[in-house]
Amino acid sequence: MSCRLTTLTPFINREFLLKALDACQYKYRIKSNQIILEQNLSIAYYDLVFEQDHLGKFVLHHDSHTNIHSLLTKLEEQYRRIEQEYIAELERQRIAAEKAQIQAEQQRVEAARKRAILEQQRIEAEQKRLAEEKRIFVEKQKQAIQEKARSMGYAVKEVSQGQNVQLVLIRRTY
């Protein structure tokens, strides 16, 4: 001989239980740690009361004459649905937070990348400015030498040698 049974889903979350009662449209009132159902069950001698047991789950106290099977089955269904929806919502929020974190990290990286690019551009601009400053100086210096040389009676010939410039000054004397 064998048997098989199932137990009721333990109602361990007070908030879910209250929402499940609302979903089932079971009226109740809260008195201290008790959730008292105001369900009109004709054969009930005593109130139906949910109270937490020593394990922490809410247990429905009732007299033995009351058939609460359909009530609990309906309540369990709603309790599980509400719990699942809440878990799903938590997961949705977790994913959203994770995405926000990734996005923030990407934005941080992107901001750092932009700062690095700006710094690189600043350095390159400074390098160009220095090079241009030298180029202008060298050009002025070259022109000054050429003018002075001509005033001293030299013929001036300019030869470009890579980055260097060669000036050949020639004067014929008799």
Partner 1 sequence: MAEEKIILQIDSEGKISAQTQGFKGEICLKELEKLLDGIAEIQDVKKTDDYFAKQTTTASSYIQRKQS
- Please give the residue ranges that form the binding site for partner 1 (CB under 8 A): 134-135, 137-138, 141-142, 144-145, 148-149, 152, 154, 161, 163-174
Supply the minimum distance, in Å, between the C-beta of residue 99 and partner 1.
Answer: 54
Beta carbon nearer to partner 1, 24 or 165? 165
Supply the minimum distance, in Å, between the C-beta of residue 122 and partner 1.
Answer: 23
Helix axes 14-23, 69-151, angle to 10 degrees: 110
Closest CA to 37 of 82, 68, 15: 68
Check if the beta carbon of residue 171 is closer than 8 Å to that of residue 155.
yes
Closest CA to 66 of 46, 43, 50, 48: 43
Beta carbon nearer to partner 1, 33 or 143? 143
- Dihedral sign for Cα 124, 127, 133, 139, please: negative
Supply the minimum distance, in Å, between the C-beta of residue 127 and partner 1.
Answer: 13
Check if the beta carbon of residue 88 is closer than 8 Å to that of residue 81.
no
Supply the minimum distance, in Å, between the C-beta of residue 116 and partner 1.
Answer: 29
Beta carbon nearer to partner 1, 2 or 174? 174
Beta carbon nearer to partner 1, 8 or 145? 145
